[in-house]
Structure 1
Amino acid sequence: MNDAPAPDAVPARPWREEDGPRPQVWTWPRTDPPALWVMSGGRPRRATVIARQDWADGSVYYQVTVDLHGDTTKRILLYRWPQPGLSVAHRSSAQPSRDVDPAQQGDMPRRP
C-alpha cells in the first residue's frame, strides 16, 4: 500500500485561439459553489470553483481561487481535470448554468 501524499497539482495555461473553438463555460451560484482540494507544497488546499470549462477537444478544466501557500493570498488558477493533485472537497447542491446572472455570479455592477 502506498501512503505517499498525492503530487502537487499542475496549473494549466488559459485557452488560446489556436486551441480551437472557445470552451463552454459553466458557473454555479456564488452562494453554493463547488470546491476542490488542490495539493500544493505537499498539503491539500481548499479551492473554490469559479467555473468549469469544457474545451472542444473534450478536456475539462476548473478555474478556482486558492491559497497555495497558506498565507491568505488567493490566486485564480486553471487546472485540468482529472489529475492526481486534485480531488473533490465539496459538491454544489445547485446545477451549473451557462446563463450568467451578474447578481448571482458576483460580477461587478455595470454602469447605467
Structure 2
Amino acid sequence: MSVEEIPEPVPARPWRREDGPEPKVTTWPTGNRPALAVWSHGRWRYAPIMARQDWADGRVFYQVEVDLLGDTTIRARLYQWPQPGLRAEHGPPRPAAPDRGGMPRTPPRRAD
C-alpha cells in the first residue's frame, strides 16, 4: 500500500453497557508504554498506548495519546485494532510490574 493509499484510522466510541460485559483493560505506567504509529495528515505520528481494551466479542481497542496535526496538541484517541492507518512502533523498554500492566497479550503488528 503506497503512502497515498493509507486511510486515516477511524476513532472508536467508548464501551457501553449494551456492548456486553466490560472489557478487560490493560494499562502501562508513563515512561514504560508500548506505542503505535497513527497515520494522520500525511505522516505517521508517534502514539504511546495508555490502555488496551479486550472486548468480550473479541475486538481489541487501543487508547493512545497522539499529536494528530503535528502542532504539539496531544489528544487521547481510541482505535479498534487493526486498521491500515495504525502500525506497531515498539513494546515497553523494560517489563512492567504485574500489578501495573504489561505488554499486550497479542502485541500489535506493523501494518505495512
Task: With the length of structure 1 as denominator, give the TM-score of the two structures.
Answer: 0.80
Which residue in the other structure is 1:54 paired with?
54
* Divergent runs of 4+, >3 A: none
List runs of 5+ in structure 2 lacking aligned partners: 102-112
Q: Deviations over 1:46-89 (max 9, x none)?
A: 10100000001000000000010000111111000011000011
CA deviation after TM superposition for structure 1 residue 9, in Å: 1.1
C-alpha separation in 2, matches of 1:64 and 1:29: 13
C-alpha separation in 1, matches of 2:97 and 2:30: 11
Across the two proteins, how many residue pairs are aligned to each other? 99
Which residue in the other structure is 2:76 paired with?
76
CA deviation after TM superposition for structure 1 residue 100, in Å: 4.7
C-alpha separation in 1, matches of 2:13 and 2:65: 15
Contact 2:45 2:66 in 1 (8 A): yes
Contact 2:36 2:48 in 1 (8 A): yes
List runs of 5+ in structure 1 lacking aligned partners: 102-112
Contact 1:26 1:96 in 2 (8 A): no
1:63 aligns with 2:63: yes
C-alpha separation in 1, matches of 2:61 and 2:96: 17
